[in-house]
Structure 1
Amino acid sequence: MSSISMRKTTLAAAGLAVAGTLVLTGCKDGNEEAVPAAPSAPAAQSSAPGGYATPPAGAPSSPAAGGYDGASGAPAAGGAGAVAKSGQAFKIGEAATVPFTSGSKSGQLALTVTSIEPGNPADLASLNVGDKVKGQTPFYIHYTAKNTGTTDLSFASVGHMKGVLDGGAESGVLLIAGKFDKCPNESLPSGFTTGKTQASCAVALAPTGAKVTGAEYWGDPYNNLNNPPQKGITWK
């Protein structure tokens, strides 16, 4: 991953959750680190329609194989379906076509949030996160990623999926390094070429009594802060 991409990922991660929740990394070794979440606007505001009035930073001015047209939002040759616009909302079960970049790999994916399943706080016991998730209930966001571009995305990492609480605010996020059977999340497999699909999962945290009722994808370019700023796409 380039240093520019790493900086963009770091900046985007700072807005994962609203104040009062935690972004956690669990490595199952008892050395998990809790990071206070930065303030963030309610995710409900992300559902306003919008488009690419100007190309996102780093986007091509014309379509490239497996990519998208940053000016119009149209898919490139070899892609399928119109690319989701900034802030666009989908129903759970609907596919959203998105431009995709991970390190040196770029292409196009169709992302579909298939279900949001409530978990039990006891599910997290094996992660050794202890009091760091006290008062939080895990919810499992199940989604699929289908390669609708023309490039091989082997071993790329999708991620960038978070929850939306029933009140419209963003949920907390639990980032896990290692295996977690309740919510498996692995890199795309070898040979992830056009038409291949992989199921994945993201862990969202809700305060006791609240529910995660929606999901938001905030990968590049939907985390772009240029003028006009781009917003994530949502499912509910």
Structure 2
Amino acid sequence: MSTNTMRRATTGVIGLAVAGTLTLTGCKSGNEEVAPAQPSTPAAQPSSGGYDSAQPSTPASPSTGGDAPAGAAGAAKPGQTFKIGETATVPFSYGNTKGGTIALTVTAVEQGQPADLDALKLGDKVKGMIPYYIRYSVKNVGTVDLSFASVGHMKGTLPDGTEAQGVSVIGKFEKCKDETLPKGFTNGQTQTSCAIALAPSAQTKVAGAEYWGDPYNSLSNGKGLFWK
């Protein structure tokens, strides 16, 4: 993960560095991508993921199952699939914060408009692509204070199961806010978040979501949790 300092600007990257100012976005590494400092434009980076447009549904009770990752009793197992609106219990660590547990729910996959991407200044790199917004909620169901942690690693999947290209935003993008957890994010606290996935054309929709954060990116050859 790059340690370059960034200002809160909004710019986009699609698998390639844009004008030498943003780094390449990886697909299934455990690292987060960070762009170098920019004077005034908000920054965003594409990531992979895809979904069909879906309406929010009522969250179900957290799913449990065998083969739970790394010491997390009742945690969702690698490769487990949920319906949109269902909740997965997920072991969670971030930086020096270890041993947390979150309830993670993909609540909706919403189709946006191509013009939404104009603010990210991606130009021809997103020509013909359609943005989808993966809405998800994070609830602290453990005993560890997760203040200022970031719950990312959410991407889209296309109808054939392949990854959709995504955009990781560095800065503010009002249509799809992805912010760190606030101070005092202790047991029972909840926050909503969003990830951007790109359909390659109007004929192909983003059909689902995958969470591939640790420990799922280091287990079962990187197979994460899926929502469809």
Q: TM-score, normalised by structure 2?
A: 0.72
> What stretches of structure 2 of length at least 5 have no aligned partner?
4-24, 52-64
Query: How many Å separate the matches in 2 of 1:149 and 1:31?
Result: 34
Identity rate of aligned residues, in percent? Answer: 54
Match of 1:219 among 213, 219, 222: 213
> What stretches of structure 1 of length at least 5 have no aligned partner?
4-12, 18-22, 44-48, 60-68, 75-81
Shift of 1:30: 5.9
Query: How many Å separate the matches in 2 of 1:143 and 1:191?
Result: 20
Query: How many Å separate the matches in 2 of 1:28 and 1:182?
Result: 22
Match of 2:157 among 152, 158, 164: 164
Query: How many Å separate the matches in 1 of 2:128 and 2:183?
Result: 39
Shift of 1:135: 2.0
Query: How many Å separate the matches in 2 of 1:102 and 1:29?
Result: 28
Specify which structure has the bigger relative contact order, considering alpha-carbon pairs within 8 angstroms and separated by 6 or more residues. 2
Shift of 1:51: 2.7
> CA deviation digits over 1:61-100, x for unaligned, max 9?
xxxxxxxx2xxx51xxxxxxx2100100001101100000
Q: From the superposition, tell whether residues 28 and 95 of structure 1 become closer, same or farther in structure 2 (CA, over 3 Å).
A: farther
Which residue in the other structure is 1:177 paired with?
Answer: 170
For the pair 1:103 / 2:95, whether they are aligned, the reply is yes
Query: How many Å separate the matches in 2 of 1:28 and 1:122?
Result: 23
Query: How many Å separate the matches in 2 of 1:233 and 1:151?
Result: 22
Query: How many Å separate the matches in 2 of 1:104 and 1:224?
Result: 18
Shift of 1:29: 4.9
Q: From the superposition, tell whether residues 201 and 152 of structure 1 become closer, same or farther in structure 2 (CA, over 3 Å).
A: same
Query: How many Å separate the matches in 1 of 2:105 and 2:173?
Result: 21
* 1:93–1:114 CA contact under 8 A, matched in 2: yes
Query: How many Å separate the matches in 2 of 1:200 and 1:149?
Result: 19
Shift of 1:145: 0.1
Which letter does structure 2 place at the counterpart of 1:199? T
Which residue in the other structure is 2:67 paired with?
Answer: 51
Which residue in the other structure is 2:13 paired with?
Answer: none
Shift of 1:34: 7.4
Which letter does structure 1 place at the counterpart of 2:161? G
Which residue in the other structure is 1:131 paired with?
Answer: 124
Q: From the superposition, tell whether residues 166 and 28 of structure 1 become closer, same or farther in structure 2 (CA, over 3 Å).
A: farther
SS at structure 1 position matched to 2:137: strand
For the pair 1:119 / 2:138, whether they are aligned, the reply is no
Which residue in the other structure is 1:88 paired with?
Answer: 80
Query: How many Å separate the matches in 2 of 1:30 and 1:121?
Result: 19
Which letter does structure 2 place at the counterpart of 1:100? F
Query: How many Å separate the matches in 2 of 1:31 and 1:199?
Result: 21
Shift of 1:166: 1.5
Query: How many Å separate the matches in 2 of 1:165 and 1:214?
Result: 7
Which letter does structure 2 place at the counterpart of 1:221? P
Which letter does structure 2 place at the counterpart of 1:15? C
Match of 1:210 among 204, 207, 216: 204
CA RMSD of the aligned region, Å? 3.4
Shift of 1:229: 2.9
SS at structure 1 position matched to 2:221: coil
Q: From the superposition, tell whether residues 131 and 50 of structure 1 become closer, same or farther in structure 2 (CA, over 3 Å).
A: farther
What is the total number of aligned residue pairs between the two structures? 187
Shift of 1:129: 1.4
